[in-house]
Amino acid sequence: MPTVADVERIAALTDPVVRNLQITQCYHELSAVFAERSGAGANWCTYATWASKQAGQTIRREDGVRELEARLRIQSEAGEAIQKIIGLVRQLGAKQKPDAIRTLIWNTVVMTALNRASEAVSRGNRKVFIEIGREFARFMAICQPDPVYDPAHLEQFLRELRPGNPPEGQQYLRQAFTSYYQSWFETDPKQQAELRLLANLRIGFHEQTRLQPEIVESLNLAPIDPAVLKNRLMELVFPAGSVLGRMRLLFLETIGQIAPLDRAIESLVAAIHQQIRLVVTEQLMTMSFPPNVRLRLGRDLLVDFPASLRLITNPDLQTLLLQIDPTANSLLETGARDWADMPERIHFIADLFRCYHESAALYEAPFSPDQVAVLATGKRPAGRL
Residues 180-194 have pLDDT tens digits of: 999 999 999 999 999
Average pLDDT over residues 55-63: 86
For 73-99, the pLDDT digits (tens) are 776 777 888 888 888 888 888 888 989
Output the pLDDT for position 340.
Answer: 87
Cα angle value 365/367/369 (rounded, 5°): 95
Q: Number of structural domains, the chain?
A: 1
Residue 382 lies in a domain: no
pLDDT at 253 over 70: no
Confidence of residue 244 (pLDDT cuts 50, 70, 90): low
Residue 384 lies in a domain: no
Whether the Cβ atoms of residue 143 and residue 154 lie closer than 8 Å to each other: yes
Residue 383 lies in a domain: no
pLDDT at 268 over 80: yes
Residue 236 lies in a domain: yes
> Which parts of the chain are beta strand (E)?
286-289, 293-296
Cα angle value 375/213/108 (rounded, 5°): 70
Name residue 300's amino acid.
Answer: D
Residue 143 lies in a domain: yes
Confidence of residue 232 (pLDDT cuts 50, 70, 90): confident
Q: What does each C-alpha distance from 370 to 25, 164, 382 come to in angstroms?
A: 13, 43, 10
Q: What is the mean pLDDT of the chain?
A: 89
Entry pTM? 0.88
The helix-helix angle for 226-237 and 243-254 (nearest 10°) equals 120
Please compute, for residue 118, the number of CA atoms within 13 A of its CA located in the half-sphere on the CB side. Answer: 21
For 338-369, the pLDDT digits (tens) are 888 999 999 999 999 999 999 999 999 999 99
287-291 long-range contacts, CB within 8 A, separation 24+: 287/50, 287/51, 287/54, 287/352, 288/50, 288/53, 288/54, 289/50, 289/361, 289/362, 290/361, 290/362, 290/364, 291/361, 291/364
For 271-316, the pLDDT digits (tens) are 888 788 788 888 888 889 888 899 998 899 999 999 999 999 999 9
Domain range for 117 is 4-377
Residue 127 lies in a domain: yes
Residue 317 lies in a domain: yes
Neighbours of 332 (CB within 10 A): 10
In DSSP terms, 286 is beta-bridged to: 296
Neighbours of 326 (CB within 10 A): 15
Average pLDDT over residues 46-63: 91
Residue 302 lies in a domain: yes
